[in-house]
A and B are shown apart, each in its own frame.
Chain A
Amino acid sequence: MSARAHILAKLTASHDQPGWPAPVALKTNPPRTINAADQLAQLKTMMAAAHTEIHEVSSENWPEKVAELTQAKNLNNLLIAPKTALGKQLQAQWPVDGVTLKYDLHHSGGKEELFFSVDAALTSCRSAIAETGSLVLWPSPAEPRLMSLVPPVHFVLLDAHNIYPSLTEVMQAENWAAAMPSNALLISGPSKTADIQQTLAYGAHGPKELVLLIMV
């Protein structure tokens, strides 16, 4: 008998034993009623507490802000996703020359460049969760998953209209269960660890800095 058949046979033989509580339907919590302004405030509080740098921007001026921050942080380059809407807007409005890189892992040396030469990347995010201060990212062919992970600085652009009170609500509103991507992510700050004597240190393996630009 295969391991599969054997395991399932053992479980099935005992799974209807008397005495085990019958499956129950879980009561769902009523939707929370925090208003949009409170959600934004909550998100900012939670994310700041998790060491995220936050800037409020507008849908017009954010490329300027990214350029300003790139210079202020002495970043040599910035990886962008050229085919996305934000990639296009950034390229159209980028005020300085020579600092943007376009993501192409297929081109030879692309991965090496990503690991050892890229200073920062800019990605979009799908939505955000006020309760825990989390950003929801669904990497895509145009905006691959390593962009938000490998470079030491991660810039994220969030539209304030896409903030939800909780994970439950964002999953319901966006109907996640219907079609999950190959990789969905919640990001709630820069990479960190407290594995050495419970001392918190940032930049363990992922980005050392998370910079959130909120379009309000």
Chain B
Amino acid sequence: MKTEILHNFTSRSRAATADEAQRGKFRSAMDFLIAKRAAQFPDPTEWAELRESGQQIRQRALAYLPKLLVQFEQKAQQNGMTVHWAETPLEANQIIHGILQRQQVRTLIKGKSMVSEEIELNQYLQAHSIQALESDMGEFIVQMADEKPSHIIMPAIHKSKQEIAALFAAEIDDTPYTEDVDELIQIGRQALRQQFFNADAGLSGVNFAIAETGTLCLVENEGNGRLSTSCPRVHIAITGIEKMLENLADLPTLLTLLTRSATGQPITTYVNLISGPRRADEQDGPEEVHIVLLDNGRSQAYADVQLRQTLQCIRCGACMNHCPVYTRIGGHAYGTTYPGPIGSIISPHLLGLAETRDLPSASTLCGACGDVCPVKIPIPELLLRLRVENVTRAGTKDHPAVMRGQGAKYRLSEKLAWQAWSLLNTTPALYLASRRSAAGLRHLIPSVKAWTQARVMPKIAPQSLHELIKAHQEQKS
């Protein structure tokens, strides 16, 4: 399904829920990930202590964020890396394009990076005649199918092995159709090996950036992240400004929370700590390392103490794995880079609330996302806050204009309806008078069509509770 064909969240999610095969794939994938994660946190006391620590580390880092960014920049420069700052996706793309142009790079090999998806780097580079090739198996599959990732940890979760087998057979030269997963992975390995050998530049994301030592931490299982950052002569890393950690000593706690929450692994196969380009006497490793620090709306989230908690996120994806809405509609229905509960609270900052107005409502508020968050982001509370921002006009008393697109769902008729409702219920004389014409009130309530799709519209009773009690008491006496 191409997401751009359907133009809004409601129609995309309706189409997604009608696709039973896709729902089955998401259901089984989420069940698998939920069980794997649960097995990694058998002791509730340890879990409580760990996530308390995780929350404290992230909040401490955010409290010092401006200082840590400067410290990180200084240390990274001392280590021989080049630090770039970008406020917008366009600026980030231009910076990366500039580096590649100076180095005369035609092919960029990419490790997994959701921030590069966020800025649509591949599309930007393609328009400038530079090929960006995804090397994470999931991303490789998704790119080959001309789609976007549907999950931040497992990008190709929406595809069956039969679909991938057909895709490989059609798109990779001399490839027979095979549903054997080991064979499929070996086909992908062979296809990419030459690319790693040839590539002049590699790009990666960043899981954590450590201010104390000017170090980038990257976790992965496949080795493509290591190849992308070790083999080409230029390494470019891109990260949101919020990924800072104060100290190296903060890393073990977050690392264990991340890998256990994400895929139920005690640790990933590779944890890469990069603190600079190759040194004078070293035989391999990149000659240049560049880091792009991207804002893209994060400083907007930072400006509000409640919304700032959004930035604690370590991108484990556990919230989406446990979300009943995500499980039923899949990642593409959200139409944003980051889907699921975390996407619903981060995307409004990246894209503006006007563009993402339906996302804060794409939740049952069951609380599962908040319960599994390893750094204790109160996601349901933040969803409610964004719902309020949606219907509050900018500049209103008690609501300073912090959100771009604030008031996207504000409707005067709805506002008046609720004001009337409030007045009615706090003025006994009006309440009494209105009761007799209660049926007419229904028209003041905004459309309830969606609500009544699965429910029966309640009928106004002929006698009110007050009248019934009064009659009952009279009968008794």
- Known contacts A8-B69, A183-B272, A195-B136; A171/B248 CB under 8 A: yes
- In the bound assembly, the distance between CA atoms of A20 and B272 in angstroms comes to 32
A167 touches B197 (CB 8 A): no
CB proximity of B326 to chain A, nearest CB, Å? 16
B216-224, B348-356, B357-365, B460-468: which lies at the interface: B216-224
CB proximity of A175 to chain B, nearest CB, Å? 10
- In the bound assembly, the distance between CA atoms of A205 and B212 in angstroms comes to 31
B138 touches A8 (CB 8 A): no
- In the bound assembly, the distance between CA atoms of A103 and B278 in angstroms comes to 17
A26 touches B63 (CB 8 A): no
Q: A180-204 interface mask toward B, CB cutoff 8 Å, 1 = contact, 0 = none?
A: 1111111111111111111101111
B161 contact set on A, CB distance < 8 A: 196-197, 199
A26 contact set on B, CB distance < 8 A: 53, 56-57, 60, 249-250, 253
Q: A35 on the interface (CB 8 Å rule)?
A: no
Which residues of A from 18 to 33 have beta carbons under 8 Å from B? 18-24, 26-28
CB proximity of A117 to chain B, nearest CB, Å? 12
Q: B245-256 interface mask toward A, CB cutoff 8 Å, 1 = contact, 0 = none?
A: 001111111011
Partner of B56, one of A24, A182, A202, A204: A24
Partner of A185, one of B29, B69, B272: B272
- Known contacts A10-B302, A15-B65, A26-B60; A180/B160 CB under 8 A: no
- In the bound assembly, the distance between CA atoms of A132 and B164 in angstroms comes to 32
Contact-residue bracket for chain B: 35 or more
CB proximity of B223 to chain A, nearest CB, Å? 3
CB proximity of B184 to chain A, nearest CB, Å? 6
B282 touches A205 (CB 8 A): no
Q: A106 on the interface (CB 8 Å rule)?
A: yes
Q: A12 on the interface (CB 8 Å rule)?
A: yes
Q: A101 on the interface (CB 8 Å rule)?
A: no
Q: How many pairs of residues, A versus B, come closer than 8 Å at their CB atoms?
A: 250
- In the bound assembly, the distance between CA atoms of A19 and B303 in angstroms comes to 12
Q: B98-142 interface mask toward A, CB cutoff 8 Å, 1 = contact, 0 = none?
A: 000000000000000000000000000000000000011110010
Q: B424 on the interface (CB 8 Å rule)?
A: no
Q: A125 on the interface (CB 8 Å rule)?
A: no
A168 contact set on B, CB distance < 8 A: 249, 252
Q: A144 on the interface (CB 8 Å rule)?
A: yes
- In the bound assembly, the distance between CA atoms of A4 and B285 in angstroms comes to 28
B2-10, B15-23, B85-93, B201-209: which lies at the interface: B85-93
- Main SS of the interface on chain A? loop
A202 contact set on B, CB distance < 8 A: 182
- In the bound assembly, the distance between CA atoms of A116 and B194 in angstroms comes to 9
Interface size on A, residues (CB 8 A): 79
A196 touches B156 (CB 8 A): yes
A10 contact set on B, CB distance < 8 A: 295, 299, 302-303
- Known contacts A180-B213, A204-B223; A144/B282 CB under 8 A: yes
- In the bound assembly, the distance between CA atoms of A139 and B281 in angstroms comes to 12
B274 contact set on A, CB distance < 8 A: 182-183
Q: A108 on the interface (CB 8 Å rule)?
A: no
Which residues of A from 197 to 216 have beta carbons under 8 Å from B? 197-199, 201-207
B252 touches A149 (CB 8 A): no
B302 touches A197 (CB 8 A): no
CB proximity of A135 to chain B, nearest CB, Å? 11
B138 touches A195 (CB 8 A): yes
- In the bound assembly, the distance between CA atoms of A106 and B164 in angstroms comes to 39
B155, B182, B282 interface centre (most CB from chain A within 10 Å): B282
A105 contact set on B, CB distance < 8 A: 283-284
A15 touches B66 (CB 8 A): yes
- Known contacts A7-B241, A26-B60; A204/B185 CB under 8 A: yes
Q: B11 on the interface (CB 8 Å rule)?
A: no
B222 contact set on A, CB distance < 8 A: 191-193, 204-206
A193 touches B221 (CB 8 A): yes
Partner of B266, one of A7, A46, A193, A198: A46
- In the bound assembly, the distance between CA atoms of A50 and B182 in angstroms comes to 17
- Known contacts A167-B252, A197-B161; A112/B197 CB under 8 A: yes
CB proximity of B103 to chain A, nearest CB, Å? 18
B283 touches A103 (CB 8 A): yes
- In the bound assembly, the distance between CA atoms of A133 and B303 in angstroms comes to 41
Known: A183-B272, A191-B221, A206-B227. 6 other contacts (CB 8 A): A132-B256, A132-B267, A144-B284, A191-B270, A205-B222, A205-B224
A-B contact pairs, 5 of them (CB 8 A): A140-B282, A141-B281, A141-B283, A144-B284, A206-B270
Give me the interface of B with A, judged by CB distance under 8 Å.
Answer: 28-29, 32-33, 53, 56-57, 59-60, 62-66, 69-70, 79, 85-87, 91, 135-138, 141, 154-157, 159-161, 164, 181-182, 184-186, 188-189, 192-193, 196-197, 212-213, 215, 221-224, 226-227, 230-231, 241, 247-253, 255-256, 263, 266-279, 281-285, 293, 295, 299, 302-306, 308
9 tightest A-B CB contacts, nearest first: A206-B223, A204-B222, A195-B138, A186-B271, A4-B85, A132-B267, A205-B223, A19-B305, A180-B275
